[in-house]
Chain A
Amino acid sequence: AQRVTQPEKLLSVFKGAPVELKCNYSYSGSPELFWYVQYSRQRLQLLLRHISRESIKGFTADLNKGETSFHLKKPFAQEEDSAMYYCALKADRGSTLGRLYFGRGTQLTVWP
């Protein structure tokens, strides 16, 4: 069965420190992986997706199929990065095509 696991419910770092938000998944097909972010009082929005291999707001995430992971990384955290981060897997087949499976989320706090 498909599953997305974010092992850390809360994560705190100081400004300028590196940050890594962990995400592991299980899925038998060829999923698309996403990171979504929800800043305080804002709507949930896409941060980045594995297919585009881009860096957004200094964040990167590499899909590791061997370890079934899609960890989100940033070398130098900023206070404005404080938010709730969700890892999501998009199903690629059948009746579940297109639906997202979300992890439970990681609340990141960056201290000044």
Chain B
Amino acid sequence: DGGITQSPKYLFRKEGQNVTLSCEQNLNHDAMYWYRQDPGQGLRLIYYSQIVNDFQKGDIAEGYSVSREKKESFPLTVTSAQKNPTAFYLCASSNLGGASFYQPQHFGDGTRLSIL
């Protein structure tokens, strides 16, 4: 069954700790994205990657880091530098360019991160 899998569904972190959120896709999509969803603020882009071993900062990258070592995986690390990490995090993927430009992004179920 094709799709995007985010894990874990819920994550708790103590202050000062780094945590890593997993995102895996088996859609063979080139591009992957991480968003943060807060009430009243919609979806804000953290990082995105259009190709393996390359990624770009989004609008709110401070306090976050990513890697793209494999096409199907795009983990997000929330570092201790992120001052307000409690949020709902969404991962997405899509194809790029040509006819696939008009294809939408596919989203995972999300991970809810809370600070203890």
Contacts of B42 on A, CB cut-off 8 Å? 6, 86, 102-105
Judging by beta carbons under 8 Å apart, are A97 and B96 in contact? yes
Which of A45, A52, A98, A104 has most chain B Cβ within 10 Å?
A98
Contacts of A98 on B, CB cut-off 8 Å? 31, 50, 94, 96-97, 101
Contacts of B96 on A, CB cut-off 8 Å? 97-98
Main secondary structure of the interface of A (DSSP, over half): mixed
Contacts of A45 on B, CB cut-off 8 Å? 107
Q: Which of A49-99 contact B (CB under 8 A)?
A: 49, 51-52, 86, 90, 92, 95, 97-99
Contacts of B43 on A, CB cut-off 8 Å? 44, 86, 100, 102, 105
CB distance from A63 to the nearest CB of B (A): 13
Which of B40, B42, B102, B108 has most chain A Cβ within 10 Å?
B42
| Cα–Cα distance between A97 and B40 once the two chains are bound (Å) | 26
Residues 61-92 of B, flagged 1 when their CB comes within 8 A of A and 0 if not, give 00000000000000000000000000000101
Q: How many residues of A contact B (CB 8 A)?
A: 24
CB distance from A30 to the nearest CB of B (A): 10
Contacts of A51 on B, CB cut-off 8 Å? 102
Which bracket fits the contact residues of B?
Answer: 20 to 34
Q: Taking the complex as formed, is A46 at the interface, i.e. its CB lies under 8 A from any CB of chain B?
A: yes
Judging by beta carbons under 8 Å apart, are A104 and B102 in contact? no
CB distance from B42 to the nearest CB of A (A): 4
Which of B58, B97, B105 has most chain A Cβ within 10 Å?
B105
For the complex of A and B, the 3 pairs showing the least CB-CB separation, nearest first, are A104-B42, A46-B104, A102-B43
**Extra pairs beyond A98-B50, A105-B43 (19, CB < 8 Å):** A6-B42, A32-B101, A34-B104, A43-B107, A43-B108, A44-B90, A44-B107, A52-B102, A86-B42, A86-B43, A95-B56, A97-B50, A98-B31, A99-B48, A100-B92, A100-B105, A102-B35, A102-B43, A104-B41
